[in-house]
Amino acid sequence: MSDIILQANNLVKTYTQRSGRFGFGSTQIRALDDVSVSLKTGSTLAVVGESGSGKSTLARCLLQLHPFDSGEVLFQGQDLAKLSGQALRDIRKHLQMVFQDPFASLNPRMRVGEIVGEGLLIHGLGTASEQKEKVYQMLERVGLEVADAQKYPHQFSGGQRQRIGIARALVLEPKVVVCDEPVSALDVSVQAQILLLLKALQQEMNLSYIFISHDLRVVRHIADEMVVMNQGKIVEHGKVVDIYNAPQQRYTQQLLNAIPGRKAA
């Protein structure tokens, strides 16, 4: 259990922002400043921080969706930045992502079956009928129906759309799934359903999750380990239980104190 499936070493990513009068000047913004994380097989690592702390940038850099300035990302010991073309594409099916906004991340002109099956098509996995069968199985597994494959995203509620997003990511049987705020746009009742679904799927498929969130209550329930980010830097990392019981950094304490309902309880 303790082997590391995904590791990032000393990632640095800078954005250039126009500034000054008429935007002639430029400022460098360090979105990631020497960030290192490691994800153990079958576990969940939460990345926590406020908006602008660099948590989504980290997610995108891990999946090679963003180029970074320096550092390395190792997937099962293999440096992803050195891979290109077909080799990278082959590995991508093991690295999938579930997005935050279930309304914006599904193509409104594609049927649900096409959305979920697109990955299988691209990677050329199985015959057409095998792919179809796989899509149906996955839809049922996430709590949708076979008949839903013929529908369009707008015919579903927010929670159902998030289920579609999860089915899309998991149909390729990935090893690592990056979840970027997967429940923050949902009602608490739906949030509980999705969190339980993610947990069950993790056990069944032996998935490793990177779970990005600003909700510390959710993190407490789903994650094993966590890193706290502030202004592009990791300020604290460790086991979730340890950090919640005894936060070492002032910033982490502030975040924990700001959890609504804590004082009253």
Partner 1 sequence: MSEILNITNLTITPKSASNRLLVSNVSLTLSAGKTTCIVGESGSGKSLTALSVMGLLSPQLQAKGSVKFQDSELTGLDNRTMQNIRGRKIGMIFQEPMTSLNPVLTVGYQIGETLTAHFGLKGTALKDKIAALLTQVGIPAERANSYPDELSGGQRQRVMIAMSIACEPVLLIADEPTTALDVTVQAQILQLLDQLKTRMNMAMLFITHDFGVVADIADDVIVMFRGEIVETGTKKDVLNKPKHPYTKALLACVPDAEGKKQLKPIDYAWLKNGLNEKKVAA
Residue 189 sits in the site that holds partner 1 (CB under 8 A): yes
Among the listed residues 33, 72, 173, 215, the single contact to partner 1 using CB under 8 A: 215
Q: How far apart are CA 17 and CA 139, in angstroms?
A: 42
Nearer to partner 1, 47 or 149 (CB): 47
Q: Which of 205, 182, 178, 214 is nearest to 195 (CA)?
A: 182
Q: What's the min distance (Å) between Cβ of 186 and partner 1? A: 9
Smallest gap from Cβ 197 to partner 1, in A, equals 9
- Which residues in 60-119 contact partner 1 (CB under 8 A)? none
Give the residue, chosen from 45, 176, 177, 255, that forms a contact with partner 1 under the rule CB under 8 A.
255
Q: Beta partners for 227?
A: 47, 237
Three-state SS at 233: strand
Interface pattern 3-42 for partner 1 (x via CB under 8 A): ----------------------------------------
Say how many residues make up the chain. Answer: 265
User: Of the candidates 104, 146, 241, 246, which one interacts with partner 1 according to CB under 8 A?
Assistant: 241
Residue 165 zone, left/alpha/beta (φ > 0; ψ -120 to 50; rest): alpha
Exactly one of 192, 224, 233, 238 binds partner 1 (CB under 8 A); which one? 192
- For partner 1, the closer CB: 19 or 107: 19
Give the one residue of 38, 193, 202, 231 binding partner 1; rule: CB under 8 A: 193
C-alpha distances in Å from residue 230, one per residue of 14, 32, 52, 59: 15, 10, 8, 15
The residue (of 71 and 158) whose beta carbon lies closer to partner 1 is 158
Instruction: Give the shortest CB-159-to-partner 1 separation in angstroms.
Output: 10
Please report where in the chains the tokens 């070492």 appear, as a residue: 248
Q: 171 pairs with which residues across the strands?
A: none
260 binds partner 1 per the rule CB under 8 A:
yes
Burial call 19-28: b when 16+ CB within 10 Å, e when fewer: eeeeeeeeee
Q: Is 28 or 189 the residue whose CB approaches partner 1 more closely?
A: 189
Contact pick of 87, 188, 200, 246 for partner 1 (by CB under 8 A): 188
Which residues have CB under 8 Å from 197's CB, separation 6+? 142, 143, 163, 166
For strand 208-213 and strand 4-19, is the pairing parallel, antiparallel, or unpaired?
unpaired
Which residues in this chain contact partner 1 in the complex, by CB under 8 A? 50-51, 158, 187-193, 195-196, 214-218, 220-221, 240-241, 244, 254-265
